[in-house]
Amino acid sequence: MEDIKLDAYKLISFDKIVSTQDYAHDLIAKNEAVNKTVITALAQSSGRGRYKRNWVSHHGNLYASFIYKIGERDPKLSYAVAVAIAETMIHFGIKPQIKWPNDILIDGKKISGVLIEYANSFVIVGIGINIGTCPTVKEYKTTKMQDYVKVSVNDVLSVLIKKIDKWRNADFVIVRERWMDMAAALNKIIKFRGKDAELIGLNEDGALVLRCDTRYILTYGDEISI
Ligand code: BTN
């Protein structure tokens, strides 16, 4: 384990760990967590994704959990993080799309996922970005940054930290606009709860707006297929 400071963040890095997300929860449970901590690992033996899915975490990718002290839960944070990751891709010359709420796709294939969890007065933002390797996943296609550009895990981490700081503190009007600029399947028909629906975008409160025939639907959770 290595413990250094980077851009006002406390950076704790491991070669291999069970899950950076679990380590963040442990720090919080032991009252040892401080605002702006990033836990990174080169590999995870039991990385976790959304909906209790496994996040295959071989050596060569970015696995990081950001800890922030919060006053209250902010459902809009998820979009700020998605924009920050997408902007990181753009920094390296890769054109991303955001699949609601915060999956990052390149050429329709998933390159990054985000898991946001809360514990006591902290939020833990877990981010996985495929850089040197991409797992084969049954549910969707995957890709990795090194298929597009020569880049290292540390290069990506240092840009990501700056982008997260910028977008986390940005006004939601701006975040929403940027999210919509990069949204996958905007104004297209997608599948929602097994039915066809048109993806209209985000409203001012951060809900996803869908249109099913003549009805408008707002959702904050759930999944869509595009
Ligand atoms: C998703 O299902 O798309 C979210 C994946 C989140 C994976 C990251 S990798 C770093 C952090 N540690 C974990 O165990 N999960 C998150």
How confident is the model over 169-192, as pLDDT tens digits?
A: 999 999 999 999 999 999 999 999
Give the distance, in angstroms, between the CA of residue 93 and the centroid of all CA atoms in the same chain: 19
Query: Which residue's CA is the closest to the ligand 1 atom numbered 16?
Result: 126
Cα gap 149→28, rounded to integer Å: 36
Number of residues that make up the chain: 226
Instruction: List the one residue out of 211, 203, 208 whose CA is nearest residue 219.
Output: 208
pLDDT at 224: 74
Pocket of ligand 1 (CB under 6 A): 19-21, 44, 47-50, 53, 55, 63-65, 103, 113-115, 126-128
Average pLDDT over residues 147-156: 97
What would the pLDDT profile of 9-61 be if each residue is shown by its tens digit?
A: 999 999 999 999 999 999 999 999 999 999 999 999 999 999 999 999 999 99
CA of 213 to the centre of ligand 1 (A): 35
Contact criterion met (CB below 8 Å) for 114 and 79: no
pLDDT at 148: 98
Cα gap 99→224, rounded to integer Å: 8
Q: How much is the mean pLDDT over the chain?
A: 95
CA of 47 to the centre of ligand 1 (A): 6
Parse the chain into domains and list their residue ranges.
2-181, 189-225
CATH of 2-181, one of 3.30.930.10, 3.30.230.10, 3.90.1150.10, 3.40.50.880: 3.30.930.10
Q: Which of 26, 63, 102, 130 to mutate to test ligand 1, by most ligand atoms within 8 A of the CB atom?
A: 63
Contact criterion met (CB below 8 Å) for 175 and 167: yes
pLDDT at 48: 98
pLDDT at 6: 65
Q: Which of 105, 115, 142 to mutate to test ligand 1, by most ligand atoms within 8 A of the CB atom?
A: 115
Distance in angstroms between the alpha carbons of the first and the last residue of the chain: 40
Instruction: List the one residue out of 87, 62, 98 whose CA is nearest residue 168.
Output: 87
Instruction: List the one residue out of 78, 77, 66, 20 whose CA is nearest residue 46.
Output: 20
CA of 215 to the centre of ligand 1 (A): 34
Cα gap 107→123, rounded to integer Å: 31
Q: Which helix (H) or strand (E) holds 2?
A: strand 2-6
pLDDT at 5: 62
CA of 82 to the centre of ligand 1 (A): 13
What would the pLDDT profile of 88-130 be if each residue is shown by its tens digit?
A: 999 999 999 999 999 999 999 999 999 999 999 999 999 999 9
Contact criterion met (CB below 8 Å) for 86 and 94: no
